[in-house]
Amino acid sequence: MSINTQAQPVAFTRVDSFSWSEPVTLNAAFRDWQGDFLGGNQQFSDNWLETGVRVNDWTLAFLYRYDIALRFSQDTADFYYRSQNDLSIDPDQRYHLSLNGLRFTARGLRFSKMHQPVHSLSLTWGLSLFEADQRIDGEINGTDRSARIDYFYSKDELFDRVVDRPSGTGISLDLAVKTHVFTDTRITAHVTDLLGTILWQDAPRTQASASLDRTSSNQDGVVTLEPLISGRETIKSNDWQILQPRVHIQVHQPLNPRMDALFDYRYQHGKHLISTGAAFNNQDQKFGLRLWPQINTLELFFQHPHWQISVASDALSKTQAQTLWLRFSLN
């Protein structure tokens, strides 16, 4: 494929922010779970900002990412919610604790190249090189009486250990595939972090056992816990953090010149999501909706030849929403 050396650079921007909280609303999640308890065992927020220039089939852009994901047992959610809201805990009940968490921020550059081997198929490879910070990567397992802790961090959120922040250098490969099937059916698949890792140098790590002794309770049944911590704190010279792939597949099936049927599949942080929807064509513009039944979320979108926006939520009130999804792109 030849490159037109006279092509002018075109600026572009892409934003993709998807946050979901199962046990409490997103508003409560940012306020130490001060709100109604809804049950559930997962929270995550994936945020991507990319802005740069495109020349022919090449792009070069600044990239910012903030990813956080927590998976925990129902007992862990219940126990944490009660402790944060000063609610009574049955002294005879045993809570089984299990928590896995990861978090990082990334700032760097992303390069991409589109290749079209045949008319009906295009492949776009993206390579991101970035510096990383704000690491959390580890787990807690056990009971409310005795728990084992093993986690890496940039700032010790559990025991307030004073450490130098580790330096992280990351690389990630992503892939987008666009194809036509049976002439009209369009399929787009995008895999983020198809291969991705962060090398952390001088990474702080805590491995500990926490023994919790219920020492007193007030007249309302609120229990005061005094943990006894034993373990070791180390600095690991080099530690590799593997990034987990995220997948988004979209299927567009034209029904008539004015309307398309839509089918979507998303996978991230162990969560499988499926949607159905419809798009309505108006000359060179398109608008439509998608319904994500597993998270009771409605997505509305609008596409213009030079920009597009998509907003999704499960509630009209921002204080009641458990899902918030915003996508925007400017070509």
**HEC sequence for the chain:** CCCCCCCCCEEEEEEEEEEEECCCCHHHHCCCCCCCCCCCCEEEEEEEEEEEEEECCEEEEEEEEEEEEEEECHHHHHHHHHHHCCCCCCCCCCCEEEEEEEEEEEEEEEEEEEEEEECCEEEEEEEEEEEEEEEEEEEEEEECCEEEEEEEECCCCCCCCCCCCCEEEEEEEEEEEEEEECCCEEEEEEEEEEEEEEEEEEEEEEEEEEEEEEEEECCCCCEEEEEEEEEEEEEEEEEEEECCCEEEEEEEEEEECCEEEEEEEEEECCEEEEEEEEEEEECCEEEEEEEEHHHCEEEEEEECCCEEEEEEECCCCCCCCCEEEEEEEEC
pLDDT of residue 36: 94
pLDDT-based confidence at 225, cuts 50/70/90? low
178-223 residue pLDDT tens: 998 877 899 999 999 999 999 999 999 999 988 766 545 555 655 5
Contact 79, 89 (CB under 8 A): yes
Amino acid 21: pLDDT:
97
For residue 94, name the pLDDT band (cuts at 50, 70, 90).
confident
Mean pLDDT, rounded, for 257-261: 94
Rg value, the chain, Cα: 23
The whole-angstrom separation of Cα 282 and Cα 70 is 42
Instruction: Tell me the average pLDDT across 94-122.
Output: 95
1: pLDDT strictly greater than 50:
no
Q: Is the pLDDT of residue 75 over 70?
A: yes
| Whether the Cβ atoms of residue 131 and residue 168 lie closer than 8 Å to each other | yes
Mean pLDDT to the nearest integer, 83-103? 88
Is the pLDDT higher at 48 or at 158?
Answer: 48
- 118: pLDDT strictly greater than 80: yes
Mean pLDDT of 113-137: 96
Task: Look at the block and give the residue holding tokens 């920009």.
Answer: 307
CA atoms within 13 A on the CB side of 140: 23
Percentage of the chain beyond pLDDT 70 is 93
Q: How confident is the model at residue 211, as a pLDDT?
A: 78
For 318, other C-beta atoms within 10 Å of its C-beta total 11
Beta pairing partners, 46: 18, 67
Give dist(CA 45, CA 105) in Å, integer.
Answer: 12
For the ranges 232-236, 258-262, 270-274, the lowest mean pLDDT is seen at: 232-236
